[in-house]
Structure 1
Amino acid sequence: MEQVEADLSLAHDDGVPDDDPLKKYPRFVHPHRRTDTEAGAIALELMLDSRILDVVQALIGPPLGAQSMFYFKPPGARGQALHQDNTFLRADPETCLAAWIAIDDVDSANGGLQVVPGSHRTDLLCPEPADLSESFSNAQVAVPEGMSKVQTKMTAGDVLFFHGSVVHGSRPNTTADRFRRALIFHYVPEDSVEIASFYNPLIRPDHRETVLPEALGGGPCGDYAEMEP
Structure 2
Amino acid sequence: MDPLLKQDFECNGFAILPAFYSHSEIDAVLDSIATRKLARPMNVTVDLLDTGERSLLGLLTAQEIATRRMKINDLYLDMPGVRELALSERIAPILRELLGQAPALCNSLYFEKGSQQPAHVDSIYMTPATPNHLIAIWVALEDAHADAGQLEYYPASHKIEQMIFSNGTRHFEPAEMPKWHAYMDEEVAKAGLHKKTFSAKKGDVFIWHSNLLHGGGPISDPSRTRKSLVFHYFSTSDAVDLDMRLQPLSCGFWIDRPILDVPKAAFERAEFERAYLAKYEDVAQAVRAGTFASGIQHYDLCGKAEGRTI
Any residues of structure 2 matched to 1:70-149 within 5 Å, and which?
Answer: 70-73=110-113, 79-93=116-130, 94-125=132-163, 128-129=177-178, 142-143=184-185, 144-145=188-189, 146-149=192-195
3-state secondary structure, aligned to 1:81 = coil
Change (3 A) 1:172 1:78: farther
3-state secondary structure, aligned to 2:233 = strand
What is the aligned partner in structure 2 of residue 165 from structure 1? 211
Any residues of structure 2 matched to 1:1-229 within 5 Å, and which?
Answer: 3-13=38-48, 15-16=51-52, 24-33=68-77, 35=78, 40-61=79-100, 62-73=102-113, 79-93=116-130, 94-125=132-163, 128-129=177-178, 142-143=184-185, 144-145=188-189, 146-175=192-221, 177-192=223-238, 200-201=244-245, 203-205=247-249
Change (3 A) 1:209 1:83: closer
Supply the distance in 2 between the matched residues of 1:21 and 1:174 (Cα, whole angstroms). Answer: 21
- The structure whose residues are more often helix, as a share, is 2
Cα contact 1:63–1:205 (8 A) shared by 2: no
Query: How far does the alpha carbon of each residue in 1:72-121 deviate from its partner, in whole angstroms, 9 at most, with x for none?
Result: 11xxx661111111112111322311110001111432111110111111
Change (3 A) 1:110 1:208: closer
Normalising by structure 1, we get a TM-score of 0.69
Larger Rg: 2
| Identity %, equivalent residues | 20
Normalising by structure 2, we get a TM-score of 0.53
Give structure 1 regions of 4+ aligned residues with deviation exceeding 4 angstroms.
Answer: 16-23, 193-197, 200-203, 206-211
Unaligned runs of 5+ in 2: 1-33, 54-59, 164-171, 262-310
Unaligned runs of 5+ in 1: 130-138, 212-218, 221-229
- Which letter maps to 1:167? L
Please state how far the C-alpha of 1:54 moved relative to its aligned partner: 1.9
- Which letter maps to 2:120? H
3-state secondary structure, aligned to 1:68 = strand
Supply the distance in 1 between the matched residues of 2:220 and 2:242 (Cα, whole angstroms). Answer: 34
- Which letter maps to 2:127? R
What is the aligned partner in structure 2 of residue 136 from structure 1? none
Change (3 A) 1:210 1:80: closer
Cα contact 2:105–2:255 (8 A) shared by 1: no
3-state secondary structure, aligned to 1:166 = coil
- Which letter maps to 1:106? A
> What is the aligned residue count?
194
Supply the distance in 2 between the matched residues of 1:201 and 1:90 (Cα, whole angstroms). Answer: 18
3-state secondary structure, aligned to 1:59 = helix
Supply the distance in 2 between the matched residues of 1:177 and 1:122 (Cα, whole angstroms). Answer: 36
Change (3 A) 1:90 1:16: closer
Change (3 A) 1:95 1:11: same
Please state how far the C-alpha of 1:46 moved relative to its aligned partner: 1.8
Supply the distance in 2 between the matched residues of 1:71 and 1:89 (Cα, whole angstroms). Answer: 19
Change (3 A) 1:166 1:195: farther
